[in-house]
Amino acid sequence: MTSPTRIVLGTCHHDCPDSCGWEVEVVDGVAVKMRGNSAHPYSQGELCPKVNRFLDRVYSPDRVLTPLIRVGAKGAADFRIASWDEALALVASRVGSVVDEWGGQAVMPWGDAGTQGTLQMNSLDRRFFARIGSSIQTDSLCGGAARIASASTLGAPLASDPLDVRHSKLILLWGTNTRLTNRHLWPYIEEARAKGARVIVIDPVRTMTAEAADQFVQPRPGTDVALMLAIMHVLVRDDLIDHDYVARHTSGFDRLASHVADWTPARAASITGLEADEIENLARDYGTTHPVMIRTLIGAEHREGGAMFFRTLAILPSLVGAWRHRGGGFARSVGSYADGFVDTSHFDVPHLSAGRPRRALSMNRLGEHLTDESLDPPVKALFVYNGNPLATVPDAGRIRRGLERDDLFTVVSEQFLTDTARYADVVFPACTQIEQDDLVTAWGHLYLGWNHKAIEPLGESVRNTELWRRLARAMGFTEPELFESDESLLDKSLIGLDVETLKRDAVIRLPLPEDLRPYADGGFATASGRIELVDEALGAAGHGHLPEFRPALEGPLGDASLRAKYPLSMMSSKIHTRFLNSSYSHLDKHVGPEGEMYCELHPEDAAARKVTDGDRVRVFNDRGSIAVVARVSDTPRVRPGLVIVPFGWTGTRTRDGKTVNELTSTTPTEWGGGVAFYDTMVEVAPDR
C-alpha cells in the first residue's frame, strides 16, 4: 500500500536574492515533484531554470553519498568508499598531528554560501574551528565590500525595500542584471512600468536586462564613479538639489559641491566613453523624476574601486531627496533587516578558543595562502564546505598548485565531486536542502523562509551541523557547545517572530512597516545622524574624504605596460540562466542547453586578431590561459576593448579543465574586503 502524498513546504537555500518558496511532493519517502509555492508572497509559485530540475540534482547518480578517501593522485578524483568511522578517524589523526606540530593556525577553513540556511551556512563550524584555534577566514567573495561601503555612507547597511520599485516612476538598474540574477523582482518592475515608469540599465554589457530596458547606458567598465560625480555636478549646477533634505540630513554639502565643480559631463564622457549629452540627460532625469529608485546588487563590487562605487552611489538619493518617496531611494541587499529578528551572535563562543591565537586569512587569496612558503605557520590542513573555490576564487592556477601539495591535507564536504572536491584527501557527503530543516533569511526581499525537511538524507549524507558534531567528537573534544542541537541553535536565534506561522506557511514577512522608507526623514545611523559627505575615517586611511574616481591598475586606464601586453578587459559575470555560480554546470540537462564556455569579442577586436565566430581561441594573461570558443556577432554586447567569458562553468565541463578564474585578479577592492575579479586584463589569440 502506498502512503498518501505529502506536500512539504520549503525555501530555496541558494546564494540568490530571491529565496523562493517551494513545495515538495513526497510519496513513500521519495520526492516525486517540486514546484514553486504559489502562496509565497514574493516568488508567487515560480522557481527558475536552475531549480526547476532540483530533484535531478537530489537524485543524481553523481551524488556523493558516502565518505570517500583518496587513493589516486590529487585532482584525479580517484577515491574509495569509506565508512564514517574510518574517514572521521583519518581526519582526526591527520588534523590532530597538524595541530600538534604546527599549531591550530595551520588549519584553514574555507566556507561560502553554498547554502544560505542559517544553520547550515555558518553555525557550529564557527565553534569547531574556534576549538581548534584555526586561522579565521576573512574578506568576502560576494557582498562584503558593497555592504561595508554602503554603510560608510548611510551609517548602516540598511536601505530601501526593493519591492518598492512598484511605486517608482524612474528605476535605475545600476550594475545589476535583474532578469537573470534577481528574476522575481522583474514583475514588480513591470508593474511600475505598466503605470508609466521608465527603466534605465547602466552596465558595460548589453545584458538581457539591458535589452528589456527603456534606455541603456553603457559606460566603460569600472568608470561609474566618474559618471556619478558628473551627475552630482549637473545636479549642483542646475540646482536640482533638495536643499531642505540636504540641509537637515547631510553634512559637508558645500565641500562636495566644490569637489564636483570640475566634474563636467565632458570630463566624465572622456573617461566613461559615454556622450556628454547622455550624462546630462541622465542627471536631469534623476534630478527631476520622483519617485526615483536606484537598484543595484553585487556585480560592480568585483572591482578595485568596488567599494567606492557603493559609497558614492549611496550618496545620490540624499542629494535629490529621493528617500522621501515610496519607490525612491537606493535598494541593495536587505539581508541586514533580518538581524534584529534572527540573532546568531550566540553561534560564536569565544571561550572555545581561549589561549589559542588566531590569525586572519583572506578567502579571496586562497591560492596565495596555500602556496606561500613564508606563511608562519603554513596552511597544512584545509576544510572546504559550502563552496567550490577552485572554480569560484580568482587565480585558480595558484589554488590548484596549492591543492596539489603532498603535505596539504584537504577535507571537503560536498554533494558532488566538484573541481575542488577532486583534490580532497577526504570527502564527506552533504545533504541537499530538501534533506534538512533550516531557516533562510533573504537578501532580495523582506520575507523570512522556513525550510522543512521533505525526505530523509540520501545515503550516508549529513547536514553540515551534524558533520561538525561528528568531527568534534572524533577529535576528542568535549565542550558541550560543540554538540548543541539544531533545534536549540535555532530556537535561541529567533526574536519576536511568529514562529508558529513561520513554520506553518514556511514564510512570513519580517515584522517591519509595510511602508519601509528608512530615511524618509533622515535618521541615518552615523555618529551625527546625518550622511557625512566628507568621510574623515576614509580620508585618513587614504581612500579619499570625498568620492574619488581612481582607475583600476589592471584596467584600460591603468598600468600602461600591462595594457601593452594584455590590451583587453575581461568581464566574467553571471550569464547563464541554468547555472547558479558553479552549481549545476556539471549536470547534463543544465550544461547541454548552455553550449560551451566562450569568449565574446567585439567584431573590431576579433578582426584585429583574425578571429571569427566559432573559432577556437586562447584567452590568456600572466596568471594562465584557457581554451574556449570565440563568439563574435553583429550585435555585440560589449564595446571594443572588452571581452566576456561567462562565470559558472566547472572545469569538468570545459575543453581544458580550466575555468575563467584561471585568469582573474586577486587584487583586493581598495577597501571593504572584496576582490577585483572583473578588473582583469587579457589577450585573445587563435588556438590553432
CB 489 to ligand MGD: min, Å:
15
| Phi, psi dihedral angles at 286 (to 5 degrees) | -65, -40
Q: Which stretch binds ligand MGD (CB under 6 A): 87-95, 188-196, 219-227, 373-381?
A: 219-227
Q: Which stretch binds ligand SF4 (CB under 6 A): 13-21, 65-73, 92-100, 252-260?
A: 13-21
Tell whether residue 16 is a contact of ligand SF4 (CB under 6 A). yes
Binding-site member from 234, 342, 580, 681 for ligand SF4 (CB under 6 A):
580
Handedness of CA 620, 605, 669, 577 (dihedral sign): negative
CB 65 to ligand MGD: min, Å:
13
Residues 20-59 touching ligand SF4, rule: CB under 6 A, are 20, 43, 47-48, 50-51
Element (H, E) at 65: none
What is the spatial distance between Cα 569 and Cα 664, in angstroms, rounded to a whole number?
11
DSSP three-state, residue 572: coil
What is the spatial distance between Cα 515 and Cα 161, in angstroms, rounded to a whole number?
9
Residues 481-540 touching ligand MGD, rule: CB under 6 A, are none
Contacted by 51, from ligand MGD, ligand SF4, Mo ion, none: CB < 5 to 8 Å by type: ligand SF4
What is the spatial distance between Cα 49 and Cα 576, in angstroms, rounded to a whole number?
10
Q: Which stretch binds Mo ion (CB under 5 A): 93-101, 134-142, 191-199, 527-535?
A: 134-142
Question: What binding mask, one character per residue, do residues 290-319 give for ligand MGD by CB under 6 A, x or -?
Answer: -------xxxx--x----------------
Contacted by 625, from ligand MGD, Mo ion, ligand SF4, none: CB < 5 to 8 Å by type: none
Tell whether residue 152 is a contact of ligand MGD (CB under 6 A). no
| Phi, psi dihedral angles at 121 (to 5 degrees) | -80, -55
Asked if 12 and 22 count as a contact pair (C-beta separation under 8 A), the reply is: yes
Contacted by 114, from ligand SF4, ligand MGD, Mo ion, none: CB < 5 to 8 Å by type: ligand MGD
What is the spatial distance between Cα 240 and Cα 288, in angstroms, rounded to a whole number?
7
151 versus 213: smaller Cβ distance to ligand MGD:
213
What is the spatial distance between Cα 212 and Cα 557, in angstroms, rounded to a whole number?
30
Residues 173-232 touching Mo ion, rule: CB under 5 A, are none
Q: Which amino acid is at 686?
A: P
Q: Which amino acid is at 344?
A: T
300 versus 531: smaller Cβ distance to ligand MGD:
300
What is the spatial distance between Cα 581 and Cα 529, in angstroms, rounded to a whole number?
38
For every residue of 115-152, DSSP letters joined together read S-BHHHHSSHHHHHHHHHT--EEES-SSSHHHHHHHHH
Question: What binding mask, one character per residue, do residues 602-631 give for ligand MGD by CB under 6 A, x or -?
Answer: ------------------------------
Q: Which residue has the cell 545584458?
A: 207
Contacted by 297, from ligand MGD, Mo ion, ligand SF4, none: CB < 5 to 8 Å by type: ligand MGD
Tell whether residue 204 is a contact of ligand MGD (CB under 6 A). yes
Tell whether residue 12 is a contact of ligand SF4 (CB under 6 A). yes
Binding-site member from 9, 106, 142, 628 for Mo ion (CB under 5 A):
142
Tell whether residue 572 is a contact of ligand MGD (CB under 6 A). yes
Crossing angle of helices 144-154 and 306-313, rounded to 10°: 40
144 versus 221: smaller Cβ distance to Mo ion:
144
Contacted by 676, from ligand MGD, Mo ion, ligand SF4, none: CB < 5 to 8 Å by type: none
- Tell me how crowded residue 635 is: count the other CB atoms within 10 A of its CB: 7
47 versus 217: smaller Cβ distance to ligand SF4:
47
- Tell me how crowded residue 593 is: count the other CB atoms within 10 A of its CB: 11
What is the spatial distance between Cα 514 and Cα 511, in angstroms, rounded to a whole number?
9
End-to-end CA distance of the chain: 63
What is the spatial distance between Cα 663 and Cα 399, in angstroms, rounded to a whole number?
12
Supply angle C-alpha 391, 395, 400, rounded to 5.
65
Residues 164-183 touching ligand SF4, rule: CB under 6 A, are 183
Which residue intervals of 560-656 are DSSP H helices? 560-565, 588-594, 603-608
**Size of residue set near Mo ion by CB under 5 A:** 1
- Give the residue among 68, 44, 11 at the shortest CA–CA distance from 461: 68
Q: Which residue has the cell 550618496?
A: 315
CB 112 to Mo ion: min, Å:
9
Residues lying near Mo ion in the complex (CB under 5 A) are found at 142
Residues lying near ligand MGD in the complex (CB under 6 A) are found at 15-16, 112-115, 120, 141-142, 174-177, 180-182, 202-205, 207, 221-222, 224, 297-300, 303, 385-389, 391-392, 413-416, 418, 430-431, 464, 571-574, 577, 579-583, 647-648, 660-661, 664, 677-678
Residues lying near ligand SF4 in the complex (CB under 6 A) are found at 12, 14, 16, 18-20, 43, 47-48, 50-51, 183, 580
